[in-house]
Structure 1
Amino acid sequence: MTQTIPASLPFLRSHSIFIPSSSSTSTSQDDDWELVEKQSDDLVGQKYSRMVMRDKDLLIAMGREVRMLSLAGGDGWEVENGKVGTYKTLKSTSLTFTIHHVIPNPNGRLLAVVGHHQIVVLVLPKSSYSSSPGEVECRAIPIDEFQFSPSSNDIISKVSWHPWGEGGNSLWVLTADGKLREYDISQPHDALQTFNFLPSTSSSSSTKFTAIDPLSRNATSFAFSPLSSIGFSPLMVYVLIANGDIYTMGPILPLHTEMPIRYLQGLKAYSEAKLARIQGEAKDVFGAGSAGLGKVSFQNQWVESLVKQVKLNEEAKQRTREEIPESPLSRRTSLLSRSTSIHSDASTKPRPTEGTVRIHPPHLTESGGPAPGPHRALLRQGPAVYSPAPQDIGNGDEDEEQAATDLLVSHVTPSEEYTGEGEIVIAIAWSGGRVDIGLEVDKPEPRWLSSRDPTISAPILPIVESVLLPFPQFDPDTMDNNAPTFLRDPLYRDVFYIQHSFGVDSIDIRSWLKELNNDEAQGELSASQVCRHVESAGSPTKPIVGMINFCNINLGYGLVALASTGQAAFVELDLRISDSAALLPTTTSLEKMTNKVDEQDSHSLLLVKPLDFDKLITTIHNPSVPYNPVSNLRQKIPDASKSINEVKPDHLRVLGEISSQVRNRSQAIRNASQIVENRLDLQVKELQRQIKLLKECQSRVAELKKNAAITRAEELLERQESLGSNLDGVVRKLSEEFRPGIGDSERKWFDELERLRIRVRGGSGIVGKGKALTTRTQILQEQLSAIKPILAQSQSRQVEVEEVTPSQTYGSKQLKPLEAALSVRSEELRRLMKRMEMLDLRVEAYGGADDG
């Protein structure tokens, strides 16, 4: 009987999906040749993100393979041969490189697999395939093999999917030379758009001896601006340079964009209102230049071109609906009015997502070519000036220069704790463990290269706080290879996580954000809360190479970190709850409640009028009238130390005073004793009252237990559990029996495989099998085996003849035709043998499933 453990996150670290295999770290043994990776002298350490989550599916990159596991629950994980559970392996012939990053697209259908110089996009199977073990052959789409190849010099810094890409197919790639390229999965061989955030290096600056900082020529990260308030912010792109400079450029959109309708409506109103305000302020030519009328005019023209595209699309759909008979209709909100526009499904293109409109950048056509008319190039803005300049502190050697490795741009939305429109927080991670956190005060706006738009000063980025993460002290090489990366919290915008070689930390900026939005706050802001969640055992040989965080009803709220050795750590995070003081009543309400209880029940005096024992003891030790009989006797009777032979009236008077003090003292003690006894009586009465209430509660609980409703509720709970288990079984059987429909692309792929199999193995008839390549190959092998003995015999005879008549030899003119014929024949045989081996491999790869 196999052992089963619960399928839960605490037991996830023991799953076999984290066990590295020989096939995941090396190439196949059948390969005769292997491309050796060239030595890299990167200025910035390699960043890793080898673990992601798609809904309830866990995807992990181990070496050169991608593994998939479903965390949806079930009966549990079976333990066989010391391994816990099973997983799916996503196979593809294009995965020939070591995987550094895996990034799923917004709809979870595609997975970008990124190496040091190569990118491949996998078409992920459905979630139902992740429950059964084995291998799944996935369709792979290499991205720009001419630009990104093992021999390429372009280092991939970061890859991200644009949230507004049509169908989630817009992939953006930043290389270290500062070029940001957009690729569409339907056209993966060439970049659709290219934006350069660094000036091209000249031949003079590329010499060995130069004063240019090499870190200033290395782009490490980029980020799309979050969708915040109305304006141009979501159209801007931020790029981080290794020396800490931040450049912005915009407006930048994917070639095939699905923009939210509400945002485009707000952007149109915003640009028109801003243009009207600037035109009112600019009274002459000089005033127009200082007010920025040229810049605002270009922005308004750009927005109007987007609106024009939407109008033309709606008019085209209207004409198509009039020409083609009506089909099942759907309604969508129009851009220019609140009414609903009706359109049909007659167009060949799929309809955009609900609440969005399909547009493209104005300087390009819908197919990606240059649009007619003049178009100005975008202006690169920056670098941003930090105010105040962050301190150059970090872990490791003080003389070693740090490198900025990752950038985070997050919009903290208003809540009960924050007021206003929200804040855009920008965070920069450095290799030495420093994290600079700032606020974007001046939002960037689109700029174009034009004389009508005068240049302005560099944007200012206020740095609110610089956090230094605690790193262990290792050799400088270990610190140089460290490349921290950011990860947002799925629930709270004011919390983000930092993954680095030595562990995982979280930074909570809620405290100073709350004070910043409070008008009454004065003085310095509070520091952020930094918490170390995962420690890599204090060893640099086990760096953290992957991290995911989640928050759903099945998995809860937590994070999982992955080390390079395959070890996993699960951390359960705490949800925020309201302040406990808010749950308690106020002082006035507590007093009213106390008085009300005092009137109803006299026994509650034990709580209403507490006894202060310290004050009682103090009154006894320190009475209002001083008590010291000896001092009084010595003061009032001078000869008190001498023996008394005669009692005088003074002696009697002093003794009377001392006797009065003793009586007062004893009376105070008796009064205190009486107070204590009264308090003891109250405590006994309170104890009796509580015992009485406890008995009443016990009787009520017994009556409730005898009630038939409780029994019925328990029966309903048991029945619900049985129904839930039956439903899980039905769902499991349905998922096992469910097979997704095959699309046109998959059908063409399988038809091609079938034609290849028939060509290699032949058809069902005798004639078909005779024409098969395998049959022809076998015949050639038989003929070759039959010719080999004859050739060997002829060679032996030739040797004997040469030994008998050594003087009889052929001349060079006679040997040249024979050598040429033999070389042609041997080359033909070599090609046939190589073709036979390739056909055998392809038959084993594609035809093995059909034979089974």
Structure 2
Amino acid sequence: MPRVNSYAPAWLCRPSPGADLFTSSSVKDPAQDLQKEPNPFADSGATRTVAKRGNEVFAVVDNEIRWSNLTHLKDQWQQQARQKKNKQHTNGSSPPSYRVLAVPVYGLIKQILPSPNGAFLAIVTEHTVHISVLPDSSHLSSTDTSPIRLKTYQLGPTTHVIPEAPVVSALWHPLGLHTNLGGCIVTITADAAVRVWELDRNNHWSFDQPTLAVDLKKLVDGTSSDQDFAPSGFGKNKGFSADIFDMEVASACFAGNGNDREDAWAPMTLWVAMKPGDLYALCPLLPSKWQAPSVTVPSLSSAIIPKMAALEEAPEDLEEELIACRQQYDWLREIDEQEPLDPPTDSGTIQGADVFTRPTSPSAIPRLQGPFRFDTGDELDDLDLCDILVIAARLNVEDLMMGEDEELTVETNDQDKLSATVICLTSGNGRVHICLELDGIEGQWLPKARKNAFRTPLSEPADLVLVESLDTIKTSGTETVTWPTFTKDIHSRYSFFVTTATNVVFFSMSSWVQRLESELQAEDTSGSGFRLQVLCSGNVAQRERILQVSDADVTAQKGHLAASLVFYDFDLGYLLLTYHPSNPYAAVMEAPEDTFSAAMDLRSYDQNNTVPASPALVPRRAPYQVPAILYANSPLDSFIEKHVPHRQRHTLKEHVRLSPATLDLVTTAHRVLSAHTNALERAASDLFRRCERLHGEMKDQLKQLSDVAERIKGVTSEVDEDGSRKDGSRSGEALNKRLQTAKDKQSELVQRYDALRKKVLNSGGRPLSEKEKAWVSEVNTLSESVDNNASTGGEGDQQLAQRLETVKSLAVDLVSETKTLAAKASSPPEPGSPSSPAGSQPKVPQRLQRAKIADAMRMVERESAVIDAITSRLERLNTSL
């Protein structure tokens, strides 16, 4: 779980240049904004009004698109702070904090999506889609402050219009060719119409008509690939159908991103979530020219060909699966027969990818798979789904490289691998549902129409495994309108952020996925069902609240938090960014590798220092940000221009007359001024409450500090300078007892250490002599001979027995002789003996005699130990024979 190091940094708070990026610059009356109803478009889609391109940020403020570079904003703030500290004055004006991108879009902008290579920006309103050409960052970073008018194309001028269904999602195709002159985008409308647009700036017709259009309501009931599944044209009567409500689209997403670590079918699978709760999958959905990663075709070949060979030998009851597998084989064979096309020179293609043409057989339109459902246990059938996030299954490298000599090197993270697809859904009540799709999604097509044959393909609903349903953390009270949206994490595929109307919550499934995958790949399947049930019944996802909108902002600003952005850069750190109207919210978090390195640093510090290291303090709440109403212009500045007709303005300079017009003017001024002052009072009261709470918390902290100081003073006053307890102090006996126990334990540890130290020194004090080395070699030889005799069996046992008897007799003689010599050495010498001082023999020092005897005793003990070991070995051999 990421730990929040700090909330909105100073370079994003007022009065820094970074705050200007999200601050409204209009002169309209802010009191009128407070009187407005909640955003009417919040009920019909996600709010993705902030996007990124590297460290660049695009934000929609006052329905205009603003651009800025976060790194430049931070550097600009640091430079201003440095100049203010050194009391320097700059002659020139400061560079602009943002640039306005002028686009001919007149509706309320709901989503902005940069293309994968950053060349285009998709602008989505309620009913229209516009594609703008983005300039290079160096051109946008100029010192010019004038708005930049972008070259903009309207996507489908006769398709996405107000009388038609609203646009729900716009997705850049992960396998499309994205260049500086074109790209591939997929649009999904609320009436379940999916359109694939292959854009080309040199061909304006590509912005007018899609290359592939599918009506899912027609496709779900389709029986043959020869039918017409195109959506109804503009102005045509569509009639009434129950699918209008059952197949109302809430959101859509692709299952993969097009990298080599995920399943080959994932990046060409479009998942569509319906508001009532059904899910549908469209696979494969490809443009006319698409790029295949390096392992896509080999992976599909290794999966389709063995499966078809096995199904051909299977009984007739698997005919449906055999037909589907043959369709996949025909589709793959057409790809194999193609020569890869040359990718454009300026394309942002995947590294090592090949460009192919979409196969025409079996069909360009795949079969609609589903509906996929899961049981929540609630009585209500409609789940009111809002957003969907699909995490693709990992690539099965073992099956791919089966029978190959060379190994395929695919970068994978052991903790982020799961052989099942994870589907995450959000609902309007703030719940997050986590499901598993275990069967896998593969390419399927409808059969061709045949003469004199009536056969309807079966499409049974599939069940998803619901592993957990969680609630996002809410504030006290009931939220208004919310549309929870997903934001992928940078560090882990199985971690994500959920942005609601008032907070941002982090969810992580990494630990659970690792345990689940180890259980699924275990060779021993005994008891696996019980263990899997325990895994799914326990806690699947860990959650933690990252950001929370203050109560004053919830009351004053009736907007929705924009979908969050996640940055990970050396200058910015691990940054989460979102914004409310005129108020940015951010959190600087600790990256997983930073957490690990910090833990290692604390551990090494603890080992080398006596002072225990304490972890960094986590901030309790976000810093106070001044409400936008305090920075807004007074409504009286523009009151006359907005509320007084031009023909009546000359009467304002005359004496006040009692008339209906004057009464109307006074009541209007009162209404506008009261709304403005009410907003000011709310902002001031919130600041007052914060100051009162801060004052109370400071008093509590000071009280705790004083209590700790008194305790420390009491302890120090009852202890002398040498550490001994004073007589008559409180609990003196208990403290002295504890002190004496600690001293005894310390002395015991010192004694044990000295004993071990002496033992180690004695064991390795001197090297082995020549006799000892010969004795060791003899023991080794004897051990080898014993092993050989035990394995072969024969006359060697009798020789060993004879040698053992000889060794025993020699040992007895040596022991008796040693005892005799020891007794003679301990008795005093007789007068006239050779060892006496009066004798003629030289005197041998007693210390040398004791040393020799000790050496002899050690040799005898060694030989006795060897004899005992050999005896026990022979007894075991005799028992075994």
> TM bucket by the smaller chain?
0.5 to 0.7
Structure 2 residue 461 is the aligned partner of structure 1 residue 458: yes
Q: Give the one of 567, 571, 589 matched to 2:584.
A: 567
Structure 2 residue 373 is the aligned partner of structure 1 residue 385: yes
Q: Which residue of 2 aligns with 1:428?
A: 425
Q: Which residue of 2 aligns with 1:173?
A: 187
SS of match in other structure, 1:22: coil
SS of match in other structure, 2:51: strand
1:518–1:526 distance in 2 versus 1, CA, 3 Å: farther
1:23–1:301 distance in 2 versus 1, CA, 3 Å: farther
Structure 2 residue 235 is the aligned partner of structure 1 residue 224: no
Distance 2:492 2:69 in 1: 26
Q: Which residue of 2 aligns with 1:755?
A: none
Distance 1:485 1:274 in 2: 38
Structure 2 residue 173 is the aligned partner of structure 1 residue 162: yes
1:113-159: CA deviation from partner (whole Å, max 9, x where unpaired): 1111111122112122343341223211221111223x333201011
1:554–1:472 distance in 2 versus 1, CA, 3 Å: closer
1:351–1:58 distance in 2 versus 1, CA, 3 Å: closer
Q: Which residue of 2 aligns with 1:101?
A: 111
Structure 2 residue 93 is the aligned partner of structure 1 residue 112: no
Contact 2:132 2:150 in 1 (8 A): yes
Q: Which residue of 2 aligns with 1:188?
A: 207
Distance 1:11 1:579 in 2: 27
Contact 1:216 1:243 in 2 (8 A): yes
1:413–1:261 distance in 2 versus 1, CA, 3 Å: closer
Q: Which residue of 2 aligns with 1:821?
A: none
Distance 2:439 2:431 in 1: 24
SS of match in other structure, 2:335: helix
Q: Which residue of 1 aligns with 2:66?
A: 67
Amino acid at match of 1:553: F
Q: CA deviation at 1:511?
A: 3.8
Q: CA deviation at 1:236?
A: 1.8
Structure 2 residue 472 is the aligned partner of structure 1 residue 469: yes
Amino acid at match of 1:306: I
Structure 2 residue 290 is the aligned partner of structure 1 residue 260: no
Q: Which residue of 2 aligns with 1:443?
A: 440
Amino acid at match of 2:176: G
Structure 2 residue 302 is the aligned partner of structure 1 residue 302: no
Flag structure 2 segments of 5+ consecutive residues without an equivalent.
Answer: 1-7, 31-37, 82-89, 201-205, 219-230, 396-411, 449-454, 520-527, 608-732, 751-881
Q: CA deviation at 1:95?
A: 2.6
1:53-80: CA deviation from partner (whole Å, max 9, x where unpaired): 1111111111332111112347423599
Contact 1:45 1:482 in 2 (8 A): no
SS of match in other structure, 2:47: coil
Flag structure 1 segments of 5+ consecutive residues without an equivalent.
Answer: 1-7, 27-38, 318-344, 364-372, 394-398, 591-669, 688-852
Once the two structures are superposed, the pairs formed by residues 34-45 of structure 1 within 5 Å of their partners are 44-45=43-44
Distance 1:300 1:464 in 2: 34
Q: TM-score, normalised by structure 2?
A: 0.53
Distance 1:376 1:61 in 2: 37
Q: CA deviation at 1:213?
A: 8.0
1:361-406: CA deviation from partner (whole Å, max 9, x where unpaired): 223xxxxxxxxx88475321111131xx11439xxxxx89651011
Q: CA deviation at 1:235?
A: 2.3
Q: CA deviation at 1:89?
A: 2.8
SS of match in other structure, 2:562: strand
Q: Which residue of 2 aligns with 1:648?
A: none
1:510–1:448 distance in 2 versus 1, CA, 3 Å: same
SS of match in other structure, 2:312: helix
Q: Which residue of 1 aligns with 2:484?
A: 484
Deviates more, 1:411-420 or 1:181-190: 411-420
Q: Which residue of 2 aligns with 1:525?
A: 538
Amino acid at match of 1:534: L
1:248–1:676 distance in 2 versus 1, CA, 3 Å: closer
Q: Which has the higher contact order (CA 8 A, sep 6+)?
A: 2
Distance 2:394 2:438 in 1: 15
Deviates more, 1:436-445 or 1:541-550: 541-550
SS of match in other structure, 1:76: helix
Q: CA deviation at 1:525?
A: 2.1
Q: Give the one of 526, 542, 556 matched to 2:573.
A: 556
Once the two structures are superposed, the pairs formed by residues 360-375 of structure 1 within 5 Å of their partners are 360-363=357-360, 375=363
Distance 2:211 2:355 in 1: 17
1:583–1:459 distance in 2 versus 1, CA, 3 Å: farther
Contact 2:197 2:209 in 1 (8 A): yes
Distance 1:491 1:498 in 2: 16
Identity %, equivalent residues? 20
Q: Which residue of 1 aligns with 2:149?
A: 137
Distance 1:230 1:179 in 2: 26
Contact 2:358 2:364 in 1 (8 A): no
SS of match in other structure, 2:21: helix
Amino acid at match of 1:65: E
Name the count of aligned residue pairs: 525
Distance 2:329 2:114 in 1: 35
Q: CA deviation at 1:686?
A: 11
Q: CA deviation at 1:517?
A: 3.1
Q: CA deviation at 1:225?
A: 1.8
1:235-261: CA deviation from partner (whole Å, max 9, x where unpaired): 221111011100112211122212223
SS of match in other structure, 1:167: coil
Distance 2:29 2:175 in 1: 36
Structure 2 residue 45 is the aligned partner of structure 1 residue 46: yes
SS of match in other structure, 2:429: coil
Distance 2:45 2:394 in 1: 33
Q: CA deviation at 1:562?
A: 0.7
Contact 2:388 2:425 in 1 (8 A): yes
1:510–1:444 distance in 2 versus 1, CA, 3 Å: same
Q: CA deviation at 1:430?
A: 0.3
Distance 1:562 1:548 in 2: 10
Q: CA deviation at 1:486?
A: 0.7
Structure 2 residue 524 is the aligned partner of structure 1 residue 543: no
RMSD: 4.4
Q: CA deviation at 1:498?
A: 0.8
Contact 2:22 2:581 in 1 (8 A): no
1:70–1:518 distance in 2 versus 1, CA, 3 Å: same
Distance 2:394 2:441 in 1: 19
1:257-286: CA deviation from partner (whole Å, max 9, x where unpaired): 12223212322333222222222335xxx3
Distance 2:42 2:244 in 1: 8
Q: Which residue of 2 aligns with 1:20?
A: 24
Amino acid at match of 1:252: L
1:174–1:236 distance in 2 versus 1, CA, 3 Å: same
Q: TM-score, normalised by structure 1?
A: 0.55
Distance 1:402 1:287 in 2: 36
Contact 1:536 1:543 in 2 (8 A): no
Distance 2:264 2:565 in 1: 32
Distance 1:43 1:489 in 2: 24
Amino acid at match of 1:139: K
1:591-649: CA deviation from partner (whole Å, max 9, x where unpaired): xxxxxxxxxxxxxxxxxxxxxxxxxxxxxxxxxxxxxxxxxxxxxxxxxxxxxxxxxxx
Distance 1:583 1:422 in 2: 36
Distance 2:602 2:194 in 1: 55
Q: CA deviation at 1:464?
A: 0.4
Distance 1:571 1:349 in 2: 35
Distance 1:351 1:103 in 2: 16
Q: Give the one of 218, 223, 248 matched to 2:281.
A: 248
Q: Which residue of 2 aligns with 1:787?
A: none
1:120–1:674 distance in 2 versus 1, CA, 3 Å: closer
